[in-house]
Structure 1
Amino acid sequence: MSRSASAQPPAGKSVRSLHDLRPFLQPYKARIALALVFLLMAALTTLVLPIALRTLIDQGMVAADPGQRVMAMREHFLALFGVGVAMGLFSASRYYSVTWLGERITADIKSAVYGHVLKQSPEFFETTQSGEVLSRLTADTTLIQTVVGTSVSMGLRNAIMAVGALTMLIVTNPYVMAQVLGGLVLVVMPAIIYGRRVRRLSRASQDRVADSSAIAAEVLNAVPVVQSYTAETREAKRFITATESAFKTGERRIRARAVLVAFIISATTGALLWGMYQGTQAVMDGKISAGHMGQTVVYVILLLSSVAALSEVYGDILRAAGATERLMELLAARSPIQAPAQPKALPAPQGGSRVTLSDVRFHYPSRPNQTALDHFNLVVNPGETVALVGPSGAGKSTVFQLLLRFYDPQSGRIELDGESVTQLSLEDLRQRIGIVPQDSTIFSTTALENIRYGCPGATDEQVHAAARAAHAHDFITALPEGYDTFLGERGVRLSGGQRQRISIARAILKNAPLLLLDEATSALDTESERAVQAALEEAMKDRTTLVIAHRLSTVVNADRIVVLEGGQIVDVGSHAELMARNGLYAKLAAMQFDQAHLAADEDEGDATAPQALSA
């Protein structure tokens, strides 16, 4: 479960959480003001209707002459029609303005949250699932869009209408409406108190939806593994369990909100019907006219419908408040990896970069008791190729993570070309580093754009040259549309070796002074490995290169081989020197030799098996 999926909403917050949207509303003050004008005019024209109706009843029907009565009624009906047209125009303008604002502000929030999440360090993703983030970017922003683009507008409009109708009722029937107003106060107070429960349930419901989204995102990204372990039914049940949990939480929220709506509408109806009863008594006693009574009835209906609408809007606002809290949590997240306020500038690279790690001690934030690097010291000279070898968990990949400044060490110093990496801008630092990761990432676009990802401004010819250097050109041109072939999500249309060669071409195109190769040929067969190794050696000329490889055949030509174990350097030397010492490196080489010899025997046995059977 993610860090925040089960978190309780912060105490003391409710609708006030929507105040956090203020920075996103600020740029559109003029449009908001215009929308408020349209909203106010739409509400006022609605409130004018009962007055026009009263005039029609009291004045349009009093003329004794039938002809004059018809003319008077025609004028009053035309006046009513004019009010209706004005109400329609202002309502349409209000709808367009607020809906535009809802769409625009939601888009801004999505962009801000997504851009902020992309800047988080890997530490953030150790505790937050990507499915949780996606849920907040979709479900939560949809709730905010509904509130900003619809609910707030409807709430303000109905609030104006309710206040206006109530004011007119008080002016025309002060004694009766004083009683009604007292009743409404008794209605509002319990509603506000009970509304807090609705908000808590809204937040919990959104968290449970995020849980199911996180499960789905994780499993869909690993469908081949799920199917290979025949875990489809098990994963489907896990998703159903999460979905049912979300449904039950949602059911409690719906039930609580239904109770709230029923209470508000029932209590308000009772209070207003009491006012109408008093009004009919006044007509019968001759204290007010029929038109006055008709006006009162319409205002009562407007007040009743407005209060009912406000109760619905209040529920939407409570849900949006929970959504806002969740989104603001993402925006409030601060990466521990920050560039300095005044970063130092590195000189233009001349060949390879110089890398220095001095007395570095580091453990991952999620594993504070497990040291990844312990008093680690390493200097790599410009243009030098250094291989890092050792058993799994020795700290090889951690060195790469620290050089890219995905993490900062707890102590020690890391320098690139004589400057501490903490004094450089992250963009400048990472622009100087090219990397070929062990798990090659392929984006859902064409082969051309996947290679160009390493250098967005590269020409097609430069992309083709990088692909040739990585021995990827031939298989790419054999694809149905060549370099314009869509490679599918995560490169599902390519083999593992093809994906890796695309990744190598991307790094070659970037042409950075420091090249990091993390098992760059692990997915290649022997023949392809030789070809790509030759291409990498060509690309490594005049470049500083750090190589991680379990296949020792890929590092024998390195200038130096650094042997790691338990986060410390245990030996350094050339291949021949390390073999002569008969240490850890020699043991690793012997193990690989035995495995290779066994594989060769198996291949020979497979080849001779048909002959043996025929004999």
Structure 2
Amino acid sequence: MARRTGPASGQEERDKSRNIGAMRRLWPFMRPYKTLLVFALLALVLTASVSLVLPMAVRRVVDNFEIGSGALLNQYFAAALGITGLLAVGTALRYALVTRLGERVVTDIRKEVFARVIGLSPAFYEKIMTGEVLSRITTDTTLILSVIGSSISIALRNALIFVGGLALMLFTSWKLTLMVLLIVPAVIVPIMTLGRKLRKLSRENQDWIADSSGNASEALGSVQTVQAFTHEARTVAAFNEVTEKSFDAARRRIWTRALMTAIVIFLIFSGVVGVLWIGAWDVRAGDMSIGALVQFVIYSVMVAGSVAALSEIFGELQRAAGATERLVELLETTDSVKDTTTPLPLSTPVKGEIVFDDVLFHYPARPDVAALDHVSLTIAPGETVALVGPSGAGKTTIIQMIQRFYDPESGSVRLDGQALTDLARTEFRKYLSLVPQDPVIFATSARENIRFGRPDATDAEIEEAARTAAAHDFIAALPDGYDSYLGERGVMLSGGQKQRIAIARAILRDAPVLLLDEATSALDAESERLVQRAVDKLAKGRTTVIVAHRLATVKKADRIVVMDQGRIVATGTHDELVAEGGLYSRLARLQFTDGIAAE
């Protein structure tokens, strides 16, 4: 299985990850929880402030260690203990508030991203693997959770400690503080230099992870085909290759980050040792007390630790920035099919007249071949029209255009005289019922699979639909009857049983327009006879469009539309088209009669 995405194709996007400014895109998701955010920030300021007060208490203890009165010394120790308790409570409160905020925000992001991608037209999924979309919803949001629920609060806390600690260092000893500040430029340079490389590697790593997920999703989704063609080894090799590239990108990111952390920590703590050395001489000279030196050293260690933590968290923020960009890309994806901002109401009751007016359309993945080449077709209310023709003629495209999965490049598709582009998709699709050639069975019960056609249907209506579709007997024979779990993609059912479930779903929907994409293709002769009877009954009084390959289906249509290479080449009844001796006559001999007449 060939890869469709990956770092090569994502280079342009990775180059956009130049700073952590992308994290600002998370603010709309955090805005509704401003109160929770404010309390979390207050707890954060409290813990940082208490941390900065603690060295002052230590100084008092050290400077008064040899005083005659033990009561004062006990008071200093009690105060230090009280500050420690306050720090513990504040830290716990900060953790609880920030973690809850992170979980809430990420939950909202996941919900919004899924709501967005589930409504995107099929054209979007021609360009991206489903597994990559799932990776963004899971892996990327988990990374953002880690940052919002932990890293950002730790970063803010360390930033406060850095600023406050620096100010108190100046208050304690301005001379030693100025010496410490000389180290700052040396620390910033590797952070900025290696940080830029780290951002690119982080985005590359995320791209490969998503590619690996997409590869695995595709393989597992077609596992029977993989095994039937003994393709396991090659599939595993392809997955391993992508996964190893993900590891390689992660390895380079890890070492880059490790190098940056090592340089920053060495520079910072080397400076602390140097300051401590000079401070020790000041104590010996009587220029400062031992307690003041201890206080200054504690502050310098706190400031140094905050800088080191910030440099490490900076890497996490860069990874989250890349993840945020990838999620925002999904949220801001421009769909080729858009509802108008002021949709017109659909005229009711819906009669079911369908008109294709000079429709030209190319699939985005095949821009050089017209799927529909200036097609004009009018289907009257209640008429049954069969679409026939060789593969790639445009039959299924007609079905898709009626559902407005794609928009024509020119011309229009109308329902009861109204252009589909002027209507809301969720509005007019309620009046369409589809039975696809490859029926979709969801991983739930038989009852809920049929109820998918009309969620408010009663159990009695569901069973009646199943009886009409000749599905009741085999459903009743399942271990739990209608409540039997059908497995992912209906693995417990045969092809014909899946098809009858799909037909029952369409019967339950009871829509005025019925779309059948070769609904009886997977049925045995007996089931086909039963289902054909159900379809005939269902089609009465409804506009029915059938993509047909069976002679029995075609002959019962009011009109047959013959398509070839995206064009309508003939229309008429079965007898009329056979008499013409064109494409339909040839298809009737070779395809509809299995070649018997041709012999």
Residue aligning to 1:144: 144
Give the whole-Å Cα distance in 2 for the aligned partners of 1:539 and 1:278: 94
Supply the distance in 2 between the matched residues of 1:276 and 1:60 (Cα, whole angstroms): 21
Mapped partners of 1:364, 1:263: distance in 2? 53
Q: 1:17 aligns with which of 9, 22, 30?
A: 22
Deviation digits for residues 9-45 of structure 1 (CA, Å, limit 9, x no counterpart): 2447311111111111111111111100000000111
Post-superposition shift, 1:347?
2.5
State the Cα distance separating 1:596 from its structure 2 match. Answer: 6.6
Structure 2, gaps ≥5 residues long: none
- Deviates further, 34-43 or 309-318: 309-318
Contact 2:550 2:592 in 1 (8 A): no
Q: SS where residue 29 of structure 1 aligns?
A: helix
Q: Deviations over 1:143-198 (max 9, x none)?
A: 11111000001111111112222221121110121121121132113312220100
Using the TM superposition, give the Cα deviation of residue 73 of structure 1 relative to its aligned residue in structure 2, in angstroms: 2.1
Whether 2:178 is the aligned partner of 1:189: answer no
8 A Cα contact 2:549 2:592, kept in partner: no
Q: Deviations over 1:548-572 (max 9, x none)?
A: 0111221211111111111111111
2:216 matched to 1:216? yes
Residue 291 (str. 1) matches residue 296 (str. 2): no
Residue type of the alignment partner of 2:85: V
1:338 equivalent to 2:343? Answer no
Q: Distance in 1 between matches of 2:106 and 2:245?
A: 28
Shift of 1:595: 2.6
**Contact 1:261–1:308 under 8 Å retained in 2:** yes
> Amino acid of the residue matched to residue 282 of structure 1?
D
User: In the alignment, which of 19, 44, 54 is matched to residue 49 of structure 2?
Assistant: 44
> Equivalent residue of 1:360, what SS?
strand
Whole-angstrom CA distance in 2 between matches of 1:344 and 1:318: 45
Q: Does structure 2 retain, via aligned residues, the 8 Å contact 1:386–1:546?
A: yes
CA distance in 1, matches of 2:219, 2:190: 45
Q: Answer whether contact 1:61 1:73 (CA < 8 A) is retained.
A: no
Which deviations, in whole Å up to 9, do the C-alpha atoms of 1:333-381 show, x marking residues without a partner? 011211111111122225x410111111111112111011112111111
Distance 1:61 1:491 in 2: 82
1:490-501 alignment, distance < 5 Å: 490-501=489-500
Letter in 2 for 1:56: V
Supply the distance in 1 between the matched residues of 2:316 and 2:217 (Cα, whole angstroms): 27
Separation in 2, partners of 1:86, 1:468: 70
Residue of structure 2 in register with 1:475 after alignment: 474
1:110 Cα shift? 0.9
Query: Secondary structure at 1:373's aligned position in 2?
Result: strand
C-alpha separation in 2, matches of 1:110 and 1:594: 52
After TM superposition, the structure 1 stretch with the greater mean CA deviation from structure 2, 165-174 or 295-304, is 295-304
Specify whether residues 593 and 138 from structure 1 end up closer, same or farther in structure 2 by C-alpha distance, changes over 3 A only.
Answer: closer
Map of 2:268 onto structure 1: 268
Q: Counterpart amino acid of 1:316? A: E
Classify the secondary structure of the residue corresponding to 2:396. helix
**SS of alignment partner, residue 383 of structure 1:** coil
Q: Aligned residue for 1:584?
A: 583
CA contact (8 A) 2:158 2:310 kept: yes
1:313 and 1:248 map into 2 onto residues whose CA distance is 22
Displacement of 1:497: 0.6
- Residues of 2 paired with 1:284 and 1:551: CA distance? 103
Deviations 1:536-559 (A, max 9, x none): 111111110000011122121111
Question: What secondary structure, in the 3-state scheme, does the structure 1 residue paired with 2:146 have?
Answer: helix
3-state SS in 2 of match to 1:595:
coil
Matches within 5 A, 1:127-142: 127-142=127-142
1:593-604 aligned within 5 A:
595=594, 597=596
For the Cα contact (< 8 Å) 1:349–1:513, is it kept in 2? no
Q: Aligned residue for 1:354?
A: 353
Alpha-carbon offset, residue 280 of structure 1: 1.0
Where does residue 162 of structure 2 map in the other structure?
162
Deviation at 1:575, TM superposition (A): 1.4
Identity of aligned residues (%): 47
Q: What is the SS of the residue equivalent to 2:522?
A: coil
What secondary structure does 1:448 align onto? helix
Structure 1 residues 533, 452: CA separation in 2 closer, same or farther (over 3 Å shift)? same
Is residue 175 of structure 1 aligned with residue 178 of structure 2? no
Q: Distance in 2 between matches of 1:394 and 1:513?
A: 26
**TM-score (normalised: structure 1):** 0.94
Query: Are 1:81 and 2:81 matched, yes or no?
Result: yes
Equivalents in 2 of 1:573, 1:579: separation in Å?
Answer: 10
Pair 593,19 (structure 1): closer, same or farther in 2 beyond 3 Å: closer
Give 1:580 shift.
2.0
Q: Is the Cα contact below 8 Å between 1:56 and 1:76 reproduced in 2?
A: yes
Write the distance in 2 (CA, Å) between the matches of 1:330 and 1:182.
Answer: 45
Q: 1:416 to 1:284 in 2, by over 3 A?
A: same
1:398 aligns with 2:397: yes
SS of the aligned residue for 1:570 comes to strand
Counterpart Cα distance in 2 of 1:125 and 1:596:
37
Pair 43,119 (structure 1): closer, same or farther in 2 beyond 3 Å: same
Residues 225-271 of structure 1, C-alpha deviation per residue, up to 9 Å, x if partnerless?
A: 00000000110011111111111111111111111101110111112
SS of aligned partner of 1:338 = coil
In 2, distance between residues paired with 1:593 and 1:52? 94
What is the one-letter code of the residue matched to 1:158?
N
How many Å separate the matches in 1 of 2:461 and 2:480? 19
Give the distance between the partners of 2:542 and 2:360, measured in 1 at CA: 27
| Counterpart residue number, 2:508 | 509
Once the two structures are overlaid, the 10-residue window that deviates more, 179-188 or 217-226, is 179-188
Q: Tell me which amino acid in the other structure corresponds to 1:7.
A: G
Q: Is the 8 A contact 1:445 1:486 kept in 2?
A: yes
Q: What is aligned with 1:7?
A: 10
Instruction: Tell me the residue number matched to 1:26.
Output: 31
> What does 1:45-124 correspond to in 2, within 5 Å?
45-63=50-68, 68-69=69-70, 71-124=71-124
Change (3 A) 1:470 1:97: same
Q: Distance in 1 between matches of 2:449 and 2:386?
A: 27
Q: Match for residue 547 of structure 1?
A: 546
Structure 2 counterpart of 1:525, which letter? D
User: Which residues in structure 2 correspond to 1:599-610 (within 5 Å)?
Assistant: none
Which residue is equivalent to 1:607? Answer: none
Classify the secondary structure of the residue corresponding to 1:503: helix
Query: In the aligned structure 2, how far is the partner of 1:88 from the partner of 1:555?
Result: 78
| Greater displacement, 580-589 / 381-390 | 580-589
Task: Quote the offset at 1:597 in angstroms.
Answer: 4.6
Task: Report the TM-score, using the length of structure 2 for normalisation.
Answer: 0.97
Give 1:184's aligned amino acid: V
**Secondary structure of 2:568's partner?**
strand
Cα distance in 1 between the residues matched to 2:567 and 2:236: 44
Amino acid in the other structure paired with 1:367: R
1:96: Cα distance to partner? Answer: 0.4
Q: Contact between 1:205 and 1:249, CA under 8 Å: does it hold in 2?
A: yes
SS at match of 1:36: helix
Is this contact kept in 1: 2:272–2:297, CA < 8 A?
Answer: no
- Aligned pairs (5 A) from 1:440-479: 440-479=439-478
Give 1:3 shift: 5.4
Q: Give the whole-Å Cα distance in 2 for the aligned partners of 1:539 and 1:530.
A: 14
**Contact in 1 for aligned 2:215/2:239 (Cα 8 Å):** yes
> 1:462, 1:556 → 2: CA distance?
31
Once the 2 structures are TM-superposed, how far is the Cα of residue 461 of structure 1 from its aligned partner?
Answer: 1.0
Provide Cα deviations, 1:268-306, integer angstroms capped at 9, x if missing partner: 111222111121111111111121122122212222222
Contact 1:339 1:425 (C-alpha < 8 Å) held by counterparts: yes
| 8 Å contact kept, 1:447–1:476 | yes
- Partner Cα separation in structure 2 for residue 103 and residue 12 of structure 1: 24
Range moving further from structure 2, 550-559 or 225-234: 550-559
Q: In 2, Cα distance between the equivalents of 1:493 and 1:435? A: 22
2: CA distance, partners of 1:481 / 1:262:
62
Following the alignment from structure 2 to structure 1, what is the Cα–Cα distance between the partners of residues 253 and 335? Answer: 34
